[in-house]
Structure 1
Amino acid sequence: MARFSKNISRLYLVKISKWFNLVMPVVVLFYQDNGMGMHEIFVLKAIYSLAIVFLEIPSGWMADVWGRKKTLILGTILGSAGFLMYSFSYGFWAFVAAEIVLGAGHSFVSGADSAMLYESLKADRKSGSYVKHEGRITSAGNFAEAIAGITAGFLAAVSLRTPFYFQFAVAALAIPAAFTLTEPQIKATTHIHSVKKIVGDIKNTFLKETNLRVSILLSAVTGTATLTFAWLVQPYFKIIGLPVELFGLLWTVLNLSVGVSSAFAYRFEGRFSRRNEVLFIVILLALGYFSSGLLISREGLVFLLLFYIVRGLATPVFKNYINLYTPDEIRATILSVRNLIIRISFAVIGPLLGWMTDHVSLNTAFILAGGIYLIAALAVVSPWMKSGK
């Protein structure tokens, strides 16, 4: 009997509550309505990213030591509290406090959710279906984000604070879902209760475990590329003269395309050798960057769509590579390492591409980003390419 199958639906709800973002489409207007300029807005988002960076590894370690369920409960409570704080806050420093709480909530959920999913399936002897479920959960998140983009406009018409009230309610739905999870029993081969031990495990991963190192770096480099691309989409819309009212519609279409391809990622994985799977995804993502940079026009929107479709395949497939090579007792920590690398990499490359967009051209930013991704990804997977296994 599948004892842990109910965890799947709970994790769907956690993902949907996280991605059903009613705030994002109008958050800049909200900040400006509260007397903030763009500089303060970017400082605020930098603080959010720093909160995630500082807590990413500790939260993963806590998930491995304290338990995935307890960590997810804490993360969902903090995530809800952050939006509650926003609902009744005014001014920069009050928003800083809310962003720190939201960043902490994100960190405690990140990594623990994928670890809980994999271990629930493994406990029911269904770990082979991980990509299928990870893809569907990712898909559910993207569908939620797409629907939220449309809904947010109607809520903002009432007031710019109304989306925050509803966002708190949506985020709070994840709390009972986390409480009703069933923690699988992990058969740890070693004790990891010391920080020294977990630091040693991470160091050992990057120095000795080639397959796991390649899997983490490949997933992280690709995650950075997809995150960076998302921030270049709206400038693309603006340059081609797209009416503002169509921004939300096309944003919804792009997110729906990720949702559809993620849902069917499990059908893609295993049809080719791992080497060909990796090359297929990496080359198509790089082509998405290059093509978008060379053809900035309404016809070029098809390349944005191509990129997002391949992105939907990449996330669950590359995460599964990490899970295949990771010991159960440090799974959440290793997945948090992936997320940490993405945040740090984006913090380095994002400002460079932003400067390039402002002072050179958006075309150059796309092509530079594509080149960086292609070189980095191929360098990361070179041990696999050379081995031919």
Structure 2
Amino acid sequence: MKRNILALYLIKLSKWFTLVMPIIVLFYEKHGLGLQDVFILKSVYSVAAVALEIPSGYLADVWGRRKCLILGCILFFFGYLCYSFTSTFTAFLFAELLLGTGQTLVNGADSALLYDTTAQYKKENLYLRYEGRITMIGNFAEAVAGIFGGLLAAYSLRFPFYAQAVIAFTGIPAAFALREVNRSNKIQNPVNEIMRIIKYSLVTNKKLCYNIMFSGIIGAATLTMAWFVQPVLMYLKTPISWYGIIWTVLNLTVGLAALWSDRVDRYFGPRKMGILILVVIVGGYVSLAFNLTYAGLAILLVFYVFRGFATPILKGYINQMTFSDMRATVLSIRNFIIRLMFAAIAPFIGWLNDMYSLRIALLVSAGIILVPGALFLGLQFGKTEEG
């Protein structure tokens, strides 16, 4: 059990210790890319991730979590290797395809393997604790990496990519070190089986459906807020030297909150926890909209605390309702909803910001989250006695 958990920790580090994030736009600009080119590259990444999200989860269920994690880590490494030694838009496009595919192969398979590992040793009650720790490791790694990435970039914009490729490589031996949990799963028709799992998750098992939808809405909400942070800092005319510090503090906050997620969940219970998460997430958008001052940074801090709580807790609820032979697929359905919802609302929210104001964009975002979030939370409570 410890071997798998330690390996999953290392895989998380290899994916989240992102040295390139603080300087990637500067890197693109140095190689002659405009902002439109940057958006195209990120769109390609998102499209690859969305298109493969559910099939990759299903692949993890029938081919094996370990094999998917190995392949995902290899593709992730080659993505950054491609960035390290190329300079053209076409090459960067290929790198984004590799990174998006690698990321998607790991998503879902890691949490599913973690839950199955704890279940095999009759320690399912420890799943949320380990999921919280893995989330914490990812956010701590992202926070610390931002500082080192900036220091490396001071010498050369290539250095963070060289180092990133080395870090990505560490995930490969960690994935090979994993032990697959024994599962019996013989499938005759993969397409039919995927459709069966989607139907079961979103139609047949109503309680699971409501949990997946609520978790997807909250995930999209926290991802959207992450993209609001920089516009808020720009609105406040924050000195550029503070961007990295604020970014690091927010990510450390998520990590610390995730570490305590299992205790918070035990204290409040699923019903109160769901209400609290929705109220704070929606309230964070509204409060920030009317506090576009440096006091608003305290609101962001509280928001990020609940971002740290929400991810492991809501994924834990889904895992508890899911059979082992479809767990990775179900978690991928959740990730698919997050990406799809973000892709649908982000351009509209950006347009509101450009055409009207940051405040309007934040308030409309709050409404977009509140309505479906409250709906699925209410349906969830109304079905608490279902299997």
Q: TM-score, normalised by structure 1?
A: 0.97
1:158 aligned to 2:124? no
1:139 corresponds to which residue?
136
Q: Are 1:275 and 1:388, in contact at CA under 8 Å, matched by a contact in 2?
A: no
- Alignment deviations for residues 161-197 of structure 1 (CA, whole Å, 9 cap, x no partner): 1110000000100000000001111255x74752212
Aligned partner of 2:26 in structure 1 is 29
Query: Corresponding residue for 2:70?
Result: 73
What per-residue deviation string (whole Å, max 9, x for no partner) do you get for residues 274-301 of structure 1?
2111001110111111111111001111
Q: State how far apart, in whole Å, the 1-side matches of 2:120 and 2:278 are.
A: 32
1:58: which partner in 2? 55
Cα distance in 2, alignment partners of residues 153 and 284 from structure 1:
32
Show the counterpart of 1:328.
324
Equivalent residue number for residue 300 of structure 1: 296
Letter matched to residue 21 of structure 2:
M
Q: Which amino acid aligns with 1:296?
A: L
Gaps of 5+ in 2: none
Show the counterpart of 1:39: 36
Tell me which residue corresponds to 2:248: 252
Superimposed CA distance per residue, residues 44-95 of structure 1 (whole angstroms, 9 cap, x where no aligned partner): 1001101111111111111011100000000000000000001011111111
Partners of 1:187 and 1:328 within 8 A in 2? no
Matches within 5 A, 1:78-97: 78-97=75-94
> Which one-letter code corresponds to 1:386 in the other structure?
G
1:140-219 aligned within 5 A: 140-188=137-185, 191=187, 194-219=190-215
Return the match for 2:287 from 285, 291, 297: 291
Determine the structure 2 residue equivalent to 1:274: 270
2:383 & 2:36 partners in 1: Cα distance?
48
8 A contact 2:72–2:104 mirrored in 1 = yes
Aligned residues: CA RMSD: 1.2
Q: Give the one of 373, 379, 384 matched to 2:375.
A: 379
Question: CA 1:363–1:192 in 2, change beyond 3 Å: closer, same or farther?
Answer: farther
- Once residues 125 and 376 of structure 1 are traced to their aligned partners in structure 2, the CA distance between those partners, rounded to angstroms, is 36
Deviations for 1:246-268, whole angstroms, at most 9, x for unmatched residues? 00000000000000000000101
Quick one: structure 1 residues 193 and 185, their matched pair in 2 at CA, closer, same or farther if it must change by over 3 Å? farther
Q: Which residue matches 2:338? A: 342
Q: Is the 8 A contact 1:192 1:198 kept in 2?
A: no
Which letter does structure 1 place at the counterpart of 2:16?
W
Residue identity over aligned pairs, in percent, reads 45
Q: What per-residue deviation string (whole Å, max 9, x for no partner) do you get for residues 337-370 of structure 1?
A: 1111111111110001111111111111111111
2:45 is matched with: 48
Unaligned segments of structure 1, at least 5 residues: none
Residues in 2 aligned to 1:43 and 1:49: alpha-carbon distance in whole angstroms: 10
- What does the per-residue CA deviation read over 1:96-138, in whole Å, with 9 as the maximum and x for residues that have no partner? 0110011110011011000011001111111111111101100
Structure 2 equivalent of residue 122 of structure 1: 119
Q: For residues 312-340 of structure 1, give each alpha carbon's deviation from its aligned partner in whole angstroms, at most 9, with x where no partner exists.
A: 00000000011011110011111111111
1:11 aligns with 2:35: no
C-alpha distance in 2, partners of 1:340/1:274?
A: 23
Q: Distance in 2 between matches of 1:180 and 1:192?
A: 30
Moved more, 71-80 or 128-137: 128-137
Query: Which residue identity is paired with 1:322?
Result: I
- Paired position in structure 2 for 1:355: 351
Are the equivalent residues in 2 in contact too, given 1:65–1:192 (CA < 8 A)? no
Q: Give the TM-score taking structure 2 as reference length.
A: 0.97
Provide the secondary structure at the position in 1 that maps to 2:267: coil
